[in-house]
Structure 1
């Protein structure tokens, strides 16, 4: 009994330390669980298909959709009232958050609500964790400012991650676009229509770029659904956010409006894209010498200096200093 009381008294003496430790563990656990539930967990449709088709060797693959369902989970029920208070219901491409999510490859309404929920939770968890831990200490102006800073960091962290994902996807699309243009030129010169060209290019470019392939398939689906072609091309430009894709869509709109040669326009644009890509590569190669200065000065040069000068310094210390003192 005395041992239990001693342990209890020691816990009370170090209550602040244990509170910080428990809150840190809970914060990390909630973040890991949220990442798993939002991104790594399989959907109910995939789990049901795997149960119904256990012997199938062909993996279930989602096809690109123009608009996916909102979902009926806790995240949707939590974020939908917030969305109705802050802004109108997202459904158009011109909505800034919605557009950035689409440019990142997340097209569903559930992705929008997941993003809003993540921003709110991180904006609350970071300062609340610090606030609860400070119940065992004294309050100050520095403490209040730090809570505000943690709230800003937690609320802005999803935007930074989303921006990184958008830029990565845009770079992948931009790298694969010249090859897709060459395929479009071949298909058009072979006599295929623009609808079949989009479908064929989407199939052939998939091993090289899944993102660009999905965009071609989505545009083809929009055209088949009866939307005007100009609107479909503008939507593809908005979904990618890549200037080169916007230029391509502008060329397609102008050729259909003025009746000019589509194959010739695509070939000229493809040559311009390749020249631009080569210029970008040359620019990066020219900048590499400047970027190598910093690792050379701070990492490589000190090691070389120690190797070359070190033995001489040691010999001077061992030989010259005793002679001067003696």
Structure 2
């Protein structure tokens, strides 16, 4: 009987949940009907194309394979309606995605769609969870705050991934420089050096290996070397890579010794890494102050002073009470 009255009291809540479920189901069905329904022209061509000798059916490709995926076909309308296609915002967003390792032509589309969906989803979920509360200024401010958080969350995630990738590249770069020095001194050209270093450095850092391989492909395709080196610097966003590419451009322009320049740059990078390690070690003593004061010192005080305080309470309080 108790459960019956509980269900009756919360009937409005269950009705609202049912309406939300029906709305989501209709939205999913609408997305499927609008973007994933079979193309009549494609179905007609399928009937006209004859079967092969082995009984296999060759399906005509009216769309590019990369454009016919579920996620792409769902996010493309949102991207076309809202996402900026040009300008500084679009360029910076694409550059951040490339620096994070997302080079696909659909990455910007997925990224901006995620920003829009999160900006709408978080406030809607909050409003659904607090549907029975009266509207107030606090609720409005929370909705605006969740909208801003949802819109900026993909940027934060991409920034974290990009910084992690840059750290991996920076850590593996001195080893790659040593390999470049060995390859150049062995008589290999710069193009083959990039290819060989990319192959050898892959077990250590696949991100740096991919950048070397991509730069080598650009050079082999006939692109200007200076532009290829500049593109590699932009794709990584690592200052050390920028310095290396500047050295390669200058040696190529002025005809100086590449092996000597790479060796000097490698030594300078190792000195810089040692200085960074020493700086981190020097900061560790300052960073230990807060854990010591907040966690370790209170425990030490309890162990040292606690027994004395207990003894004082047992001896003095009865005497003071008479």
Q: How far, CA to CA, are the matches of 2:65 and 2:155 in structure 1?
A: 23
Determine the structure 1 residue equivalent to 2:56.
Answer: none
Determine the structure 1 residue equivalent to 2:163.
Answer: 167
Determine the structure 2 residue equivalent to 1:239.
Answer: 235
The 3 A distance-change label for structure 1 pair 320 and 239 is same
SS in structure 1 opposite 2:256? coil
The answer to whether the 8 Å contact 1:70/1:108 transfers is no
> TM-score by structure 2 length?
0.79
The 3 A distance-change label for structure 1 pair 69 and 170 is farther
- Alignment partner for residue 88 of structure 1, among 65, 85, 109? 85
Q: Which runs of no fewer than 5 residues in structure 1 stay unpaired? A: 27-67
Equivalences for 1:141-220 in 2 at 5 Å? 141-220=137-216
Q: In the alignment, does 2:4 pair up with 1:8? A: no
The answer to whether the 8 Å contact 1:70/1:109 transfers is no
CA drift at 1:295: 0.3
> TM-score by structure 1 length?
0.78
The answer to whether the 8 Å contact 1:69/1:110 transfers is no
SS in structure 2 opposite 1:294? helix
CA drift at 1:210: 1.0
- Please, which moves more after superposition, 80-89 or 183-192? 80-89
Bigger radius of gyration among the two: 2
Kindly provide the CA deviation profile for residues 53-101 of structure 1, in whole angstroms up to 9, marking residues without a partner as x.
xxxxxxxxxxxxxxx98542343234334444442279x9x81111111
Q: CA RMSD in A?
A: 2.6
Between 1 and 2, higher relative CO (CA 8 Å, sep ≥ 6) is seen in 1
The answer to whether the 8 Å contact 2:79/2:113 transfers is no
Kindly provide the CA deviation profile for residues 116-174 of structure 1, in whole angstroms up to 9, marking residues without a partner as x.
12111111011011223343221112211110000001111111111111001001100
Determine the structure 2 residue equivalent to 1:306.
Answer: 302
Determine the structure 2 residue equivalent to 1:124.
Answer: 120
The answer to whether the 8 Å contact 2:118/2:151 transfers is yes
Determine the structure 2 residue equivalent to 1:57.
Answer: none
Q: How many residues align?
A: 277
